[in-house]
């Protein structure tokens, strides 16, 4: 049939058929398109699943170990673009630190075709590490040869970190336990050391206490301690000994002031409020005193020098420590020294005075002698002179006499003549002096001289002068009249001549200065009589002393040696 042959119907049929075909075709095309679209969607879906899965996917060629394929998660996790990684050997993305483990895993994979939970470290593009666990399965060819891997890397850095933290925490704990243990051990060690140290210290303390006690008990200084109310807290051996107590129990707890310091040297009471120790430590001060006495247990006293110091505990005065010495001997020595010094000074003073006095005195004697002669002459040749002239001549005469006495005293003072001693009877000496100093009318003279006296052994002129001085002084002390008593008493190898007047007496104050040169209470005279007398008596190995009551009179006692009995 040719096309013409074909019937219209046929054609129509054919056309319909064609049309059906086209429609079918069209339908199938649509279907294809639809299938294509569905495939495409499916592919995109799987590609998305692949690329954006939470784990990292990679395929590695088993022969070359190169990366065949990887997902975006991996690239992103390592900081690469996919193209930068694909084609690289798998080792490229592993961290060099775990390279051994990687190789091992790879070898195992090639042999067994799988890897399970291998923990490995990747290296990011910036060089940092990424902890991953690797699971891989193999894709085989028809012959069973491993072609490539299907590898999944799971980021385990978080769990790794947690694990690390945990480990760290664990380690830390361990470390701390260790540390603490070490600390405890050390503390224990230290404690043990401390205990030993303390025991040593205690022993040392005991030893030192013993030492201190020994020191305190061996020192010559007496030491005692006081609490705030002045009670004894401590006393050393010297303290007990100096105070005459048996044991410290006699002192401790007792008020020391009331016990040993209650009375002054002159027997006047010494109240505690005035006590210099007590006053000082109440103010937080110390004291140093050397002019007071302390009292012994037996009621006797001694001169003491003491030092007190406050005892501080934490800036608070809690008491006082007192150190003292018996200075009786020292005071005696000092007293002697003072006396010796005074004597020396007096002698120096006298020597100097003597030189001056000697020079002046001698030079005055010549002119006095001439005046005296001249007056004598005038009185002699002017017997008829008027009363005033006579009176004046008499005045000159008596003034010359007075001056002469002063000059004589001066010269006696300067005289260094030693005594020319001889035996002389006491009554003779006294009578000679009385002859030269006959008592004025208003003075009654009483002498009490035993008849059986041994003769004196003295320089009669010197002692005569002493008696002259004392008798003249006695008369002068009684201008209104009175009684002069000269009493002689024999003493052992000595004779005491006492000359007593009932005159004005000597004040306590003047008594001390009595034998000082140039001391006088008289309107005239320069105060040399007594010092000269003392010097003369001293030169004759005698002594001179005075007793006096102001207003009642004075007694001078001159004690002189008698002639030694020749054996």
Partner 1 sequence: MNEKLRVLIVDDDRRMAKTLKDIFNVKGYEAEVAHSGPEALEKVEGSHFDSVLTDIKMPEMNGVDLYKSIKQVQPDIPVVLMTAYSTDKLVKEGLKEGVIATLSKPLDIEALLSFFSALRKDRSIVIVDDDPNFCKTLGDILQARGFAVTQITDPYDVVGKIREDVQVLLLDMKLNDINGLDLLKEIRSQHPHLPVILVTGYRDEMGEAIEAALKISAYTCLYKPLQIEELLQFLNEIHHRGLAKALGHPISGK
Both tokens of residue 259? 């016990």
Tell me if 1 contacts partner 1 by CB under 8 A: no
Q: Write each residue from 338 to 367 as x if it is in contact with partner 1 (CB under 8 A), else as -, in one continuous string.
A: ------------------------xx-xx-
Tell me if 283 contacts partner 1 by CB under 8 A: no
Q: Which of 369, 440, 479, 551 touches partner 1 (CB under 8 A)?
A: 369
Both tokens of residue 87? 């084609």
Distance of CA 264 to the CA centre of its chain: 33
Tell me if 396 contacts partner 1 by CB under 8 A: no
Cβ atoms of 103 and 111 within 8 Å: the answer is no
165 versus 373: smaller Cβ distance to partner 1: 373
Rounded least distance, CB 325 to partner 1, Å = 52
Q: Which of 262, 285, 415, 513 touches partner 1 (CB under 8 A)?
A: 415
Tell me if 438 contacts partner 1 by CB under 8 A: no
Q: Measure the N-to-C terminal CA separation of the chain; round to a whole number of Å.
A: 218
Reference 277, options 232, 338, 332; nearest CA is 232
Rounded least distance, CB 412 to partner 1, Å = 8
Distances in Å between the alpha carbon of 1 and those of 17, 41, 55, 297? Answer: 18, 49, 69, 177
Distances in Å between the alpha carbon of 311 and those of 108, 237, 307, 315, 358? Answer: 90, 20, 13, 9, 64
Rounded least distance, CB 554 to partner 1, Å = 30
Please compute, for residue 170, the number of CA atoms within 13 A of its CA located in the half-sphere on the CB side: 6
* Number of shown-chain residues binding partner 1 (CB under 8 A): 21
Both tokens of residue 464? 């005569």
Both tokens of residue 534? 């003392």
Tell me if 312 contacts partner 1 by CB under 8 A: no
Alpha-carbon dihedral sign for residues 60, 61, 66, 67: negative
Task: State whether residue 415 is helix, strand or coil.
Answer: coil
Reference 275, options 68, 287, 223; nearest CA is 287
Q: Which of 297, 371, 453, 546 touches partner 1 (CB under 8 A)?
A: 371
Using CA atoms, how far apart are residues 234 and 230, in angstroms rounded to an integer? 11
Tell me if 75 contacts partner 1 by CB under 8 A: no
Helices (H), 478-526: 508-513
Using CA atoms, how far apart are residues 525 and 8, in angstroms rounded to an integer? 205
Q: Which of 372, 437, 454, 496 touches partner 1 (CB under 8 A)?
A: 372
Tell me if 373 contacts partner 1 by CB under 8 A: yes
Tell me if 451 contacts partner 1 by CB under 8 A: no
Buried b (16+ CB within 10 A) or exposed e, 126-150: eeeebbbbbbbebeeeeeeebebbe
Tell me if 563 contacts partner 1 by CB under 8 A: no
Rounded least distance, CB 465 to partner 1, Å = 13
Rounded least distance, CB 417 to partner 1, Å = 5
Tell me if 377 contacts partner 1 by CB under 8 A: yes
Tell me if 402 contacts partner 1 by CB under 8 A: no
Length of the chain measured in residues: 567
Q: Which of 1, 220, 229, 381 touches partner 1 (CB under 8 A)?
A: 381
Q: Which of 357, 400, 495, 544 touches partner 1 (CB under 8 A)?
A: 400
Which segment (91-99, 291-299, 404-412, 472-480) binds partner 1 by CB under 8 A?
404-412
Q: Which of 173, 185, 345, 374 touches partner 1 (CB under 8 A)?
A: 374
Q: Which of 243, 294, 411, 443 touches partner 1 (CB under 8 A)?
A: 411
Q: Write each residue from 120 to 159 as x if it is in contact with partner 1 (CB under 8 A), else as -, in one continuous string.
A: ----------------------------------------
Q: Which residues bind partner 1 (CB under 8 A)?
A: 362-363, 365-366, 368-374, 376-377, 380-381, 400, 404, 408, 411, 415, 417
């Amino acid at each position: 049939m040719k096309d013409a042959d074909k019937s219209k119907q046929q054609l129509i049929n054919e056309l319909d058929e064609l049309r059906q075909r086209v429609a079918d075709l069209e339908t199938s095309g649509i279907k294809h398109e639809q299938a294509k679209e569905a495939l495409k969607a499916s592919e995109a879906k799987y590609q998305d699943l692949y690329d954006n899965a939470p784990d990292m996917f990679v395929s590695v060629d088993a022969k070359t170990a190169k990366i065949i394929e990887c997902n975006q998660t991996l690239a992103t996790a390592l900081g690469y673009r996919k193209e930068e990684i694909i084609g690289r050997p798998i080792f490229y993305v592993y961290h060099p630190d775990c390279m051994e483990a990687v190789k091992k895993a790879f070898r195992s994979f090639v042999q067994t075709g799988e890897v399970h939970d291998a923990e490995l470290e990747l290296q990011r593009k910036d060089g940092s590490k990424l902890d991953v666990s690797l699971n891989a399965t193999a894709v085989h060819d028809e012959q069973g040869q491993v072609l490539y891997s299907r590898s999944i890397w799971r980021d385990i850095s978080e769990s790794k970190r947690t694990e690390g933290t945990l480990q760290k925490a664990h380690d830390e704990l361990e470390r701390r336990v260790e540390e603490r243990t070490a600390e405890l051990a050390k503390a224990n060690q230290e404690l043990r050391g401390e205990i030993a140290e303390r025991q040593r210290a205690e022993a040392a303390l005991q030893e030192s206490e013993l030492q201190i006690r020994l020191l305190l008990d061996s020192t010559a200084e007496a030491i005692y301690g006081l609490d705030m109310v002045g009670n004894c807290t401590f006393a050393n051996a010297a303290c007990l000994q100096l105070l005459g107590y048996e044991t410290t129990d006699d002192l401790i707890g007792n008020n020391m002031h009331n016990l040993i310091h209650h009375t002054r040297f002159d027997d006047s009471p010494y109240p505690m409020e005035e006590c210099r120790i007590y006053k000082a430590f109440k103010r937080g001060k110390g004291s140093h005193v050397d002019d007071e006495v302390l009292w012994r247990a037996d009621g006797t006293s001694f001169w003491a020098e003491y030092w007190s110091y406050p005892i501080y505990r934490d800036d608070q005065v809690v008491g006082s420590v007192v150190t003292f010495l018996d200075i009786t001997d020292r005071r005696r020595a000092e007293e002697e020294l003072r006396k010796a010094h005074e004597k020396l000074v007096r002698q120096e003073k006298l020597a100097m005075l003597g030189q001056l006095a000697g020079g002046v005195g001698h030079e005055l004697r010549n002119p006095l002698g001439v005046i005296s002669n001249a007056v004598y002459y005038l009185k002699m040749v002017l017997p008829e002179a008027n009363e005033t002239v006579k009176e004046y001549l008499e005045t000159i005469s008596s003034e010359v006499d007075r001056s002469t006495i002063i000059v004589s005293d001066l010269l006696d003072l300067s005289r260094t003549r030693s005594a020319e001693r001889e035996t002389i009877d006491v009554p003779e000496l006294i009578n000679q002096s009385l002859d030269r100093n006959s008592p004025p009318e208003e003075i009654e003279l009483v002498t009490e001289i035993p008849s059986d006296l041994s003769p004196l052994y003295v320089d009669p002129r010197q002692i005569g002068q002493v008696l002259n001085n004392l008798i003249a002084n006695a008369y002068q002390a009684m201008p209104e009249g009175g009684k002069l008593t000269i009493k002689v008493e024999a003493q052992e190898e000595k004779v005491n001549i006492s000359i007593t007047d009932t005159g004005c007496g000597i004040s306590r104050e003047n008594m001390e200065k009595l034998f000082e040169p140039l001391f006088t209470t008289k309107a005239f005279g320069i105060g040399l009589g007594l010092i000269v007398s003392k010097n003369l008596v001293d030169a004759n190995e005698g002594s001179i002393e005075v007793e006096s009551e102001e207003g009642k009179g004075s007694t001078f006692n001159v004690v002189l040696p008698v002639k030694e009995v020749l054996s």
